[in-house]
Amino acid sequence: MAQKIRALYIGPKGGDTFDPTQIEQQSRAIKAAGGDVIAFKGSSTGELIEALKDVDVAMSQGHRVDPAVFEHMGNNGRCKGMVSFGHGFDGIDTDVAARNGVVLANTASFGTDEVSNQAMMHLLVCARKFVIQDKMVRQGVWKRTTLAPMGHLSGQTLGIIGLGDIGRAVARKAQAFRLNVIGFDPYIASWDFKEYGVEQVTTVEEMCRRSDYITLHVYLNPETRNMFSKKHFDLMKPTAYLINCSRGGVVDEKALIEALQKKKIAGAGLDVFEQEPTPGDNPLLKMENVSVTNHYASYSEVAWERAQTQMGEEAVRIAMGHWPMSLINPEVKHHAAPRKAAKTWEVMKVDMGLK
């Protein structure tokens, strides 16, 4: 590449997770490739559009991007793509980006172990009725009258919706507990289900009827929003639990609350909510058969450092004319100029003459 790589780092608006002044990890790969990272200092869409004119690629750390920005990128400007932090990309209009030839990537796989561990944690907490037992012991109540019915796990059935990296990791861990694992994912081939040791089911409804636990591992998009609704809760066993460590909007929260209040299901384990932070008067927070965490399933220091460095690696791929490893808008291939195949960072370093 003739000119020096320039990348724009777009920090988050507010929040307590990131320090936008500390971007060494995000910049590591770009600087190794001899490039520069410029931190975006503005606050408006117009300022962002202007800043993108002088860079090859952007990295977005949880910033919700106005779709109008993409009209000045890709086929219409120097900046050819954007890498977003994390797994989810519901804050990005992937269709508008694709039509304008803007290559989008995320840092999927960085927290596979963490999210799958969180899902299993919620499953175990629900199965062992930990919430109510923990509460009683802390209150000085020592009794076992609230134990039954309690899951045995071995021989019970776990249904997984979404067999991506995280869903497959959950399957492996669930099998160690001798759970029977069934899965629904219309985008995974039947031979892959066999390889993962997961029985394929063809409808969510069948999964609801058969499962003792259901865990969700899908992106939030128009197809999956409220994909789990009242009709699904009506089909579940009264002894079954729902686990959600994906996105709150995947579940119709009003229907979930009703199902729990009417004892259509036994309980739920939630890391995510429709509105975040969820209001303090949310009925789910008052229920002793619901375990809750505050959307931190993907976090560990190791995982988040990997995600930060992965942002930079994907940025280098895009800037140097490669496809990213984790392309989130494959439709862009119909609109953008041809690119070289994605390569691992280790191979990219060799190609660039780096140690």
Provide φ and ψ at 178, rounded to 5°: 65, 30
Q: Please tell me the distance from the alpha carbon of residue 264 to that of residue 140, in angstroms, as a whole number.
A: 30
Q: Which of 47, 50, 195, 276 is catalytic?
A: 276
Q: Please tell me the distance from the alpha carbon of residue 41 to that of residue 155, in angstroms, as a whole number.
A: 55
Q: Please tell me the distance from the alpha carbon of residue 330 to that of residue 336, in angstroms, as a whole number.
A: 10
State the amino acid at position 205 in one-letter form: E
Return the number of other C-beta atoms located less than 10 Å from residue 171's C-beta: 23
Closest CA to 211 of 153, 259, 168: 153
205 is catalytic: no
Q: Which of 28, 295, 306, 335 is catalytic?
A: 295
Q: Please tell me the distance from the alpha carbon of residue 117 to that of residue 23, in angstroms, as a whole number.
A: 28
DSSP state for residue 71 in the 8-state scheme? G
Q: Which of 247, 317, 322, 339 is catalytic?
A: 247
Using DSSP, state whether 343 is helix, strand or coil: coil
Q: Please tell me the distance from the alpha carbon of residue 39 to that of residue 62, in angstroms, as a whole number.
A: 14
Q: Please tell me the distance from the alpha carbon of residue 298 to that of residue 217, in angstroms, as a whole number.
A: 12
Closest CA to 316 of 113, 126, 55, 123: 55
Q: Please tell me the distance from the alpha carbon of residue 17 to that of residue 62, in angstroms, as a whole number.
A: 10
DSSP state for residue 288 in the 8-state scheme? T
CA atoms within 13 A of residue 173's CA, in its CB half-sphere: 20
Q: Please tell me the distance from the alpha carbon of residue 247 to that of residue 225, in angstroms, as a whole number.
A: 9
334 is catalytic: no
295 is catalytic: yes
Provide φ and ψ at 167, rounded to 5°: -60, -40
Q: Please tell me the distance from the alpha carbon of residue 143 to that of residue 15, in angstroms, as a whole number.
A: 42
Catalytically annotated residues: 247, 276, 295
